[in-house]
Structure 1
Amino acid sequence: MKPHNRLFLVLILLCMGACASYQGHIGDRRPLDLVAFDTLEPQVYTPPHWPQALEARVRIPRTQGPHPAVLLVHGGGWQRGSPGSMEGIARRLARQGLVTVNVDYRFAPAHRFPAQLHDLQLAMHWLHEQADELDINPNRIAAFGFSSGGHLVSLLTVVAGQGGELDQQWGGPRTRPAAVVLGGSPSDLRLWEDGRLVVDFLGGTRAEMPETYAQASPLVHVHDNGLPPFFLFHATRDRIVSPEHSEQFHARLQEKGVPSELHYQCCRGHFSGFIFRRVAMMELEAFLLRELAGP
C-alpha cells in the first residue's frame, strides 16, 4: 500500500472510532483493574425434556464473589449464528470482574417464536438456580444482546413478571435482568417489509398475523412497572435494522420513565457497527459496572 493511501486509511479508521453521539446519561469512564478468569466446560442449561439441549459458555473471574453477571445473546436473524460471535465481548467483560454466560438458543424456522424467548427465560431461571455454584449475585444479572439477540433480550426484559401470555409459562419476575445492553436491535417487527427472516421467525406475513407481529415487538410491551436501565447502541447507516428501531424504543422507555442511554455509531452499518465497536464498548462497560455495582 502506498504511503498516502495508508495515511488515508488510518484517518478513516480514526474518524470511525471518534464519530459517536449520545442521548441520555453518559457513564463515567474510569481505568479498569483487569482480572484473570476461569472458563468452564460448556454447561447444559436446559432440562432433559427440552426439545433441544442448549449450552452456556461460562467464565468466572478469579476474584472474591459473589459477582455480578451478564447473559450474552448472539445475533443471526433468529436462524443462524453462534455464541462464538460474542466470545470477545465475554472475555473482555470477564476480565472486568463479571461472570459472563454466553448462550445458545433454538433457531427458526424449525423452532418459531416464542421458542427463543422461552430458551432465554429458562437460561435466567438456570442462572438463579446455579448462582452459588457459579459464584453469581442473583440480584445483579444483566443481559446483552446484539441484533436478533438484542430483540430477544429486550423482549425477555419487558414481558418479565407482567403475567401476560409470553410470561406465564416460563417467565416470572426473576427472568428480568438488572440492566440491559442492546446493539443494533429490532424493537418493532411491524416496521419491516415481509422479509424471509421475519416470516420464518413468526410463521407468516404481517397481513396474515398482525397480532403476532405486535406480540413479538418489544416496543409494544414497554411499561413503567420497574423496568431496569437500558443502554442502546446503533449504527447510523444500518440498512438491515434501521436506527429507527432504537430511536423509537429509547423514546418509549423515556416516556415511561425508564432510564435509557442511546449511543449512535456514525458512518457504520449493521455488521461494521458490531466489528468496530470500541467506543460503544467503553460506554456500555461503564454502564454495566455502574448499574451492577452494590450489594
Structure 2
Amino acid sequence: MPACPASSSQARPFGFRKLLFFGLLPLLALPARAQHTAAPRDTSFTAHSAYQKAKKQHPTISIARPPVPRGVRAHTNLTYCTPGSRSLQLDVFQPKTKRRQQLPAVLLIHGGGWRSGDRSQHVPMAQQLAGRGFVAVTAEYRLSTEAAYPAAVQDLKAAIRWMRANASHYAIDTSRIAVWGFSAGGQLAALVGSTNGNPLFEAGPCNRSFSSSAQAIVDVDGILAFIHPESGEGNDSKSTSAATYWFGSNKLTRPDLWQQASALTYAGAATPPILFLNSGVDRMHAGRDDMMRQLTALGIYTEVHSFPEAPHPFPLFNPWFEPTLNYTVDFLHKVLPQR
C-alpha cells in the first residue's frame, strides 16, 4: 500500500523516540490508572452512520449482511464477567460439530474509538466464520464513557478466559484461540494478543484459573503505536480526541499510558502470528511496519493485505467484506492448523 509521509508536526527523530521509550520503561512496569468521569453512552458510530459517510466517496458500497450459513447456532446475551455491578455480555456463533470435535475459536472486537460501537457490528463476520468451521464470539467491553483504560483490555482478556472455561460446552479447542478486531478493536486485539501472560492487564475474579492467552491476532486497521511518527491519535487542538478521552490524559501529560497501551511496546518472542488488513488510511496502522520488522527478525509469522481504495470501515461493507473474511480464514488455517 502506498505510504503517506508523516507530517512535520508528527515526525520525531529516531533518537528522541528511543530516549522517550527507554526513559518510560520503569513506568511501564506499573499498573496505570487514568482519571475518568463517567458519561452517557456514545452511540455515534454504527454500521449505518459509517455507511452514510463512506458512500459519499464510494456510492456503490453496501452494508454486508450475507445469509447466515446453514447449521450455525447462536447463543446470545451470555454474561462472561461482572466487574462490580456491571454485567458484560457476549454472543457465541457455533457451527454444527461432530461428537467430541474441538474447533478453533475467534474473539471479535468491535471498533468505535474506544467510546462508541457495539458487538452487533461484527455479527455478520462471526456468522460467516462459524460457517467456515470456527467458533466465533462477539464480546462487549467497557467503553471510555464508562471506564478508562485499561478496563477494556482487562474485559477482553476475561472474555478469553470465559471461552476457555466454557470450552467443552461450545466445542472450543483451547489451544487455538485467535483475537480479531477492527479499528479501536484492532488496536485492542493486537494489545490483548501481544501481552499474553502479562499480569498488568489481568483484573477481576472471573475465571482466573484459566489462561487469557491468544494464539493468533488479526488486526483490521488498528494502530500498533500511539506515540509514533505515523500516528494521528491525540490531536486535541479542536476537541478532546478519542484516545485522550480513553486514557483520561493527553499524551504529553501521561506518555507512559500511551506507550503502555501500544502493542509495539511488547513485540517479542512471545507474540503470536499476526495478520494486518488495512484500508488506504495510513494513520490507522501506525507502527505496523516496525512491528512486522521486529517479529520477522524473531521468526514470527506476519502477513499484510491492503485495500488502498477502501475507507476505514471497509470490513463492514461490500465489496471488502468477503475478501476480509477470506484473508482471515486463510491466515487462521495457516497458523492454527487442524490437529
If the length of structure 1 is used for normalisation, what is the TM-score?
0.81
What amino acid sits opposite 1:44 in the alignment? T
Q: Measured at CA, do residues 141 and 242 of structure 1 come closer, stay the same or move farther in structure 2, by a change above 3 Å?
A: closer
Q: 3-state SS of the aligned residue for 1:102?
A: strand
Q: Give the equivalent residue in structure 1 for 2:251.
A: 206
What amino acid sits opposite 1:271 in the alignment? P
Tell whether 2:153 aligns with 1:117: yes
Is 1:159–1:167's contact at 8 Å kept on the other side of the alignment?
A: no
Shift, 1:13, TM fit: 9.6
Q: Measured at CA, do residues 172 and 260 of structure 1 come closer, stay the same or move farther in structure 2, by a change above 3 Å?
A: farther
Q: Give the equivalent residue in structure 2 for 1:29.
A: none
Shift, 1:288, TM fit: 1.3
Is 1:67–1:99's contact at 8 Å kept on the other side of the alignment?
A: yes
Shift, 1:221, TM fit: 1.1
Q: Give the equivalent residue in structure 2 for 1:150.
A: 186
Q: 3-state SS of the aligned residue for 2:81?
A: coil
Q: Measured at CA, do residues 39 and 273 of structure 1 come closer, stay the same or move farther in structure 2, by a change above 3 Å?
A: closer
Q: How far apart, CA to CA, are the structure 2 residues paired with 1:224 and 1:39?
A: 36
Q: How far apart, CA to CA, are the structure 1 residues paired with 2:316 and 2:71?
A: 25
Q: Measured at CA, do residues 173 and 186 of structure 1 come closer, stay the same or move farther in structure 2, by a change above 3 Å?
A: farther
> What aligned pairs does 1:275-290 form with structure 2 within 5 A after superposition?
275=317, 276-290=320-334
Q: How far apart, CA to CA, are the structure 2 residues paired with 1:245 and 1:116?
A: 21
Given the alignment, which residue of 94, 107, 130 partners 2:166?
130
Q: Give the equivalent residue in structure 2 for 1:57.
A: 91
Q: Measured at CA, do residues 200 and 132 of structure 1 come closer, stay the same or move farther in structure 2, by a change above 3 Å?
A: same
Q: 3-state SS of the aligned residue for 1:174?
A: coil
Tell whether 2:220 aligns with 1:179: no
Shift, 1:63, TM fit: 1.9
Q: How far apart, CA to CA, are the structure 2 residues paired with 1:242 and 1:74?
A: 15
Query: Tell me, which stretches of 5 or more residues in structure 1 are unaligned?
Result: 1-11, 17-33
Is 1:75–1:145's contact at 8 Å kept on the other side of the alignment?
A: yes
Q: 3-state SS of the aligned residue for 2:214?
A: coil
Q: Give the equivalent residue in structure 2 for 1:256.
A: 298
Is 1:35–1:97's contact at 8 Å kept on the other side of the alignment?
A: no
Output one character per residue of 1:9-36: Cα deviation in whole Å (capped at 9) or x when no partner: xxx999x9xxxxxxxxxxxxxxxxx752
Q: Give the equivalent residue in structure 1 for 2:307.
A: 265
Q: 3-state SS of the aligned residue for 2:162?
A: helix
Q: Measured at CA, do residues 50 and 121 of structure 1 come closer, stay the same or move farther in structure 2, by a change above 3 Å?
A: farther
What amino acid sits opposite 2:170 in the alignment? L
Q: Give the equivalent residue in structure 1 for 2:135.
A: 99
Q: Measured at CA, do residues 133 and 44 of structure 1 come closer, stay the same or move farther in structure 2, by a change above 3 Å?
A: same
What amino acid sits opposite 2:294 in the alignment? R
Q: Measured at CA, do residues 208 and 56 of structure 1 come closer, stay the same or move farther in structure 2, by a change above 3 Å?
A: same
Q: CA RMSD in A?
A: 2.5
Shift, 1:150, TM fit: 1.0
Is 1:180–1:230's contact at 8 Å kept on the other side of the alignment?
A: yes
Q: Measured at CA, do residues 274 and 249 of structure 1 come closer, stay the same or move farther in structure 2, by a change above 3 Å?
A: farther
Is 1:74–1:145's contact at 8 Å kept on the other side of the alignment?
A: yes
Is 1:73–1:150's contact at 8 Å kept on the other side of the alignment?
A: yes
Q: 3-state SS of the aligned residue for 2:167?
A: coil
Output one character per residue of 1:188-226: Cα deviation in whole Å (capped at 9) or x when no partner: 11133434101100011111001111101111111113x
Tell whether 2:239 aligns with 1:194: no
Shift, 1:278, TM fit: 2.7
Identity of aligned residues (%): 23
More helix by share: 1
How many matched pairs? 261
Q: How far apart, CA to CA, are the structure 2 residues paired with 1:218 and 1:234?
A: 16
Q: Measured at CA, do residues 152 and 173 of structure 1 come closer, stay the same or move farther in structure 2, by a change above 3 Å?
A: farther
